[in-house]
């Protein structure tokens, strides 16, 4: 199987990570565990968000068929107030 066929079959994920202090970060990726490891250990690959407050745990993940739908959902989640994000996390 070639790389283009493999990448076409990848699913996208919207995820939330909680920091040591309790802040919530929302992002998208094709591999949640890999991305979380980058956030935890590689300041060049991980989000700048975690430089002053380390990533603690993945608290939410939601599958999407393509990058476009994942990006739209990420934007919608980022607009939610914190109580709504916590309620979303509680549903899993």
pLDDT at 43: 75
Instruction: Give the 3-state secondary structure percentages of the chain, helix then strand then coil, rounded to 5.
Output: 45, 25, 30
- Residue ranges of alpha helices (H) inside 1-81 are 3-9, 32-41, 67-79
* 3 state DSSP class of 51: coil
Global pTM reads 0.85
Q: Split the chain (92 residues) into runs of 10 and give each run's mean pLDDT.
A: 49 97 97 94 85 94 97 98 97 81
CA dist 7 and 1 (Å) reads 10
10-90 is classed CATH 3.40.1440.10: yes
Instruction: Residue 62: name the closest of 45, 77, 47, 81 by CA.
Output: 77
> Kind of pairing, strands 12-19 and 55-64?
antiparallel
């Amino acid at each position: 199987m070639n790389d283009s066929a493999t990448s076409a079959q990848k699913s996208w994920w919207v995820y939330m990570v909680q920091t040591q202090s309790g802040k919530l970060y929302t992002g998208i990726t094709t591999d949640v565990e890999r991305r979380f490891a980058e956030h935890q250990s590689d300041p060049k690959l991980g989000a700048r968000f975690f430089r002053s407050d380390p990533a603690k745990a993945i608290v939410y993940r939601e599958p999407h068929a393509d990058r476009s739908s994942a990006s739209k959902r990420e934007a919608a989640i980022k607009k939610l107030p914190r109580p709504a994000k916590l309620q979303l996390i509680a549903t899993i």
